[in-house]
């Protein structure tokens, strides 16, 4: 799921924000060593936090049915995880970095969710929207200065982009197979020797067709 979010963001940035410009898109940790090795204009999307969005957790089940509507199996509802990206621009001039950040901000503001045509694999399987936000305040237990401090780098202008991605748990509950015949009723005298050998089979009424 994370790899598919990376691919979607990379495509979105290249096609909508950079519009063919000769700018690299990277997902590396923007440490001092990485910054020293950089020799070309770069947009960096660093995934710095992954946590479940408990407000979106559902306790129901997703049903899988066959073509005639028969219930085959059930799975727990998908869980939703917040993927937080620290988005920065790296050039030789602060003015160029600000211009790139402006283009990135305008790009992300166009979308309340990742476009459906960019969703693939496990990210597309639940068939649910993948919300996207930009520039919201960070969680109370973490600030951007703390992220830069952990990276060992200097504080730099950045955008906080959060993608809420649904993912299936992989748990599947198979149900009992569909009955192939009616119910058989067998009666017997358990106190004597007599027995009712006749059997009546209950047959389900035919299905109504629309």
Report field, pTM of the whole predicted structure over 0.85 = no
**Residue 151 within any structural domain of the chain:** yes
What are the pLDDT digits (tens) for 121-171? 988 888 899 999 999 887 776 677 778 888 887 788 999 999 999 988 767
- Residue 13 pLDDT greater than 90, yes or no: yes
Torsion (CA) 133, 134, 139, 144 in degrees, nearest 10 = 160
CB 80 within 8 A of CB 52: yes
- pLDDT confidence bin for 57, thresholds 50/70/90: confident
pLDDT number for residue 109: 96
In the block, residue with structure tokens 């199996």? 73
Q: What percent of the chain has pLDDT over 90?
A: 47
**Residue 124 within any structural domain of the chain:** yes
What are the pLDDT digits (tens) for 175-197? 656 666 666 666 666 666 655 55
What is the tally of structural domains in the chain? 1
Give the range of the structural domain holding residue 125, as residue numbers without chain letter.
2-174
Nearest to 126 by CA among 79, 82, 167: 167
Maximal C-alpha separation, the chain: 102
Q: Where are the alpha helices (DSSP H) in 59-194?
A: 94-109, 121-124, 144-151
**Residue 186 within any structural domain of the chain:** no
- Residue 80 pLDDT greater than 90, yes or no: yes
**Residue 194 within any structural domain of the chain:** no
pLDDT number for residue 169: 78
**Residue 181 within any structural domain of the chain:** no
- Residue 114 pLDDT greater than 80, yes or no: yes
Cβ–Cβ contacts within 10 Å for residue 5, how many?
24
Cβ within 8 Å of residue 80, ≥6 positions away:
52, 53, 56, 57, 164, 165, 166, 167
């Amino acid at each position: 799921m994370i790899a598919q979010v990376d691919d979607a963001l990379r495509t979105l940035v290249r096609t909508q924000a950079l519009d063919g410009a000769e700018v690299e898109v990277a997902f590396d940790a923007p440490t001092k060593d990485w910054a020293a090795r950089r020799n070309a204009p770069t947009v960096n999307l660093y995934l710095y936090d992954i946590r479940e969005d408990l407000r979106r957790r559902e306790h129901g089940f997703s049903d899988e049915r066959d073509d005639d509507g028969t219930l085959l199996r059930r799975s727990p509802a998908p869980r939703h995880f917040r993927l937080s990206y620290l988005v920065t621009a790296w050039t030789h001039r602060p003015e160029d970095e600000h211009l790139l950040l402006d283009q990135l901000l305008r790009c992300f503001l166009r979308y309340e969710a990742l476009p459906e045509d960019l969703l693939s694999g496990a990210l597309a399987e639940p068939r649910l929207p993948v919300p996207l936000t930009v520039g919201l305040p960070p969680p109370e237990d973490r600030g951007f200065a703390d992220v830069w401090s952990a990276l060992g780098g200097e504080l730099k202008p950045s955008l906080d982009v959060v993608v809420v991605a649904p993912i299936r748990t992989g748990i599947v509950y198979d149900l009992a197979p569909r009955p192939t015949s009616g119910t058989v009723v067998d009666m017997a005298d358990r106190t004597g020797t007599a027995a009712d050998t006749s059997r009546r089979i209950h047959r389900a009424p035919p299905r109504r067709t629309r």
